[in-house]
Amino acid sequence: MKKNSWTELKRGTLLGICFAVLLMFAAVPCQAQQTTVSLNMPELVKGNTVYATVSVDNVENLDAGQFDLVFNPDVLKIVSVENGSIGNTEIPVQWRSVDSKTARVIFNLEGVNGVSGSGELAKIGFEVISDGKGDLIISNGLLGNTEAKRIDTIWGDSKDDGKEGEEQEADTKQTATPGFETELSMIGLTAVVCLARGKQR
């Protein structure tokens, strides 16, 4: 009798543990794919105009963002910055020169729906004015969603001159937890874009 009771107790305990484990797995949501931004640069040939593309993958509810392009001004000269697109949604970009080797690109989608998926944030035209390395990198990147919160993003090095760079995961991965400072940054970014649009009208 005691043996049967002990066997039933062990069986019940085992079933309870299995049920608890199943509940734990059910409670954990599926891991969303990581949002990444990469910069692709074709081979540089003196006298040519080349186009670098800033690509984004697996973004959700993107609404606004900004990033800096840093390059070697002895080799490259920016001649244009064109709008990007994700699916059928155009990414309207504005840009300005910060200094001789840095350009800042900002964007803010109209409306409150945002956009999800993969595509290009911008395409940048460079005139190759001399031989050498372009040293093109992307820095100070920030993507925000429709709730004015930062999107957790890994920003990659450029694939400069046709050679792949390594991703700066440790240094460029944005924090996933949005704070008051981040929300202020997104509000400020939206205001800057609105002012830029107002000046163009």
**Per-residue tens of pLDDT for the chain, all 201 residues:** 555 565 665 565 555 564 454 444 444 444 468 999 999 999 999 999 999 999 999 999 999 999 999 999 999 999 999 999 999 999 999 999 999 999 999 999 987 688 999 999 999 999 999 999 999 999 999 999 999 899 999 998 654 444 434 433 333 344 333 333 444 455 455 544 455 455 555
* Residue corresponding to tokens 């001159």: 161
Q: Strands 89-91 and 49-70, how do they pair?
A: unpaired
pTM score: 0.66
The closest of 159, 158, 134 to 49, measured between CA atoms, is: 134
Helix-, strand-, coil-residue percentages of the chain, each rounded to 5 = 25, 45, 30
The closest of 167, 148, 141, 75 to 109, measured between CA atoms, is: 148
Give the pair of three-digit tokens for residue 8: 């039933």
Measure the CA–CA gap between 103 and 168, rounded to whole angstroms: 20
